Homo-oligomer: A and B are copies of this chain.
């Protein structure tokens, strides 16, 4: 049902006439009761798990520009329509292209032995017969930066930084930089190739891939963590460890992908919407069930629980499955360019793009005047183990952070990341590491968030 202009004008006037102290500062009791009931239902539902299983079984990995990426977009459009979203559409995204090709890494001397490694995203190839060279090891990127220019000529640089696990995954910021800039810095010192210790916290003989900066000009790969240990053990025993690396990855022409968007239309302010974000693309190892199949499924399920309630929120709910997040947030950046003049209609947003364990805290990034409402939300979510963090500077996770930094209010629902980086960007990104209990809890949280914020007219802006 669309309201007439007159109805909207009357509603707008009512808004203006409400004293500031009462105006939209808190969620109504009715709204809270509805959100509570919705969360309870969502918290018992297996829908999110089932959606993730559907995506990872029927599509699997969805690296940008691959057939899986296209199949994922088709899956998402069809699924959103089947779930009963009011509007479903795609918006084309253009990104650089890259092919993974093959990789082999082996110790040649003094201890001949195969190693397990994975090319980093965007890696250029080695010559067809590979690069055979001595390894020079650095404990971290800063040590590599301190090497003299030209000192690594004809050498393979190795960066051994070991990411430390923690509940907030804070060390990913440091460890990710080794991966992102390793090739660029090693090249500046004359190295022929760069190997990093995988950015991860596991002990599996599986490499962690991930994006690199645009200035990566030499072949780059991540050793699995046990292979990084192995290389370091070899280097303790020999001054001259020689590796052979063969990588056939290559950059290609630009490719097309898409953001997939589904909307549940609001009744009073349909042009305003709450954003539920995630990304549909994944890396090409694993099935993308965790990163970010979980987010895709949790946000789609949240909307579906609201659709199934038979009630319509006052504002719209926009579920955005961003494309091309993994290779550098291309999807959301192009979304922003296209929609930035309507940023004010993006009332508030939250994304799920990290974690396999449960959400343990809520961090807002909203205007002071709406903090009372956020406290109500936190109170409602307390039974789910979600605590309110005292800060108020969140910008949203991953994709949503681009909109958050541009001014959109956001909430970060932080899950416990202690073991997330065991699986992140690896073959182990599968349903086996998606806990059904997290899917239920996160469904409850995102459903409550979406309903509360969409079914109110509170202004969350700063």
Using a CB–CB distance below 8 Å, which chain A residues touch chain B? 53, 56-61, 67-68, 71, 111-114, 116, 203-206, 225-226, 229-230, 233-234, 237, 286-287, 426-428, 430-433
Contact = CB atoms under 8 A, between A and B. Distances in A.
Contacts of A205: 206, 286, 426-428, 430, 432
Nearest to A107: B60
Given A112-B67, A287-B113, A230 B58 contact: no
Given A60-B230, A71-B112, A230-B430, 14 more contacts: A53-B233, A57-B230, A57-B233, A203-B432, A203-B433, A204-B206, A205-B427, A206-B206, A226-B428, A226-B430, A229-B432, A230-B287, A230-B431, A233-B431
A432 B111 contact: no
Given A226-B432, A287-B113, A287-B230, A206 B427 contact: yes
Contacts of A71: 112
Nearest to A110: B58
Give how many copies assemble into the complex.
Answer: 2
A227 to B, nearest CB: 8
Contact of A111 (B57, B206, B428): B57
A258 to B, nearest CB: 20
A431 B203 CA distance: 9
Contacts of A203: 428, 430, 432-433
Contacts of A57: 111, 230, 233-234, 237
A48 to B, nearest CB: 16
A136 to B, nearest CB: 19
Contacts of A427: 116, 204-206
A53 B430 CA distance: 31
A202 B215 CA distance: 39
A111 B74 CA distance: 13
A404 to B, nearest CB: 34
Given A205-B206, A206-B204, A287-B113, A237 B430 contact: no
Contacts of A234: 57
Given A60-B111, A111-B59, A113-B60, A428 B204 contact: yes
Contacts of A426: 205
